[in-house]
Chains A and B, each alone.
Chain A
Amino acid sequence: SQQGEEDPQALSIQEGENATMNCSYKTSINNLQWYRQNSGRGLVHLILIRSNEREKHSGRLRVTLDTSKKSSSLLITASRAADTASYFCNLLYSSASKIIFGSGTRLSIRP
């Protein structure tokens, strides 16, 4: 399967802590993106990292990409209640021009 796999499937942390979620994939990619989905809403684009990049930052978000391990991590620092959402990775596979969304990580922030 070429499906992007996120782990963990669910994560519950205390407000203020850091949250890390991972995405693994099978074959080479052009780029990888992370999206957030609040309950009952559409997806919102967070950050894009290209295959020749290793790390990107956007505010409290830090994304890393390790092409040798075929994996990416999304780190949210100093979590807030508003970060409660599902997070999805999204990949474009180079070989098949196929765009894949993973099944997501549900993040809950406890007050």
Chain B
Amino acid sequence: DVKVTQSSRYLVKRTGEKVFLECVQDMDHENMFWYRQDPGLGLRLIYFSYDVKMKEKGDIPEGYSVSREKKERFSLILESASTNQTSMYLCASGRQRSSNQPQHFGDGTRLSIL
């Protein structure tokens, strides 16, 4: 069965900290995505990666960076966490972004910035 694993379900950090969210997929998918989900706003794309070491900005990349050193792992980095980055973060993977093939999601990381 396909699996996308996010390293933490819940995380509490302080403002100004550098925060790493990790995501691993076991489906050999080319594409990986990071979204944040906030009430009433749906899912918003932060960054995606279509290959190792390749990345593209999504709709709300400010304050975030990403890293993809291996095909199966995609990391989201909050360079200096702020309270407005408190949110649910969802990682997904999929094939053929250009044809919008179904994405497979992890269970999310609920991040609180104090």
Contacts and interface: CB of A to CB of B under 8 A. Distances in A.
Interface residues of B, number: 22
Interface string A1-30: 001000000000000000000000000001
Nearest to B99: A30
Determine the main DSSP class of A at the interface with B: strand
Contacts, number: 49
Interface string A83-109: 000001011100001010111100000
A43 B33 CA distance: 13
A92 B100 contact: yes
A97 B106 CA distance: 24
Interface of A: 3, 30-31, 33, 40-45, 48, 88, 90-92, 97, 99, 101-104
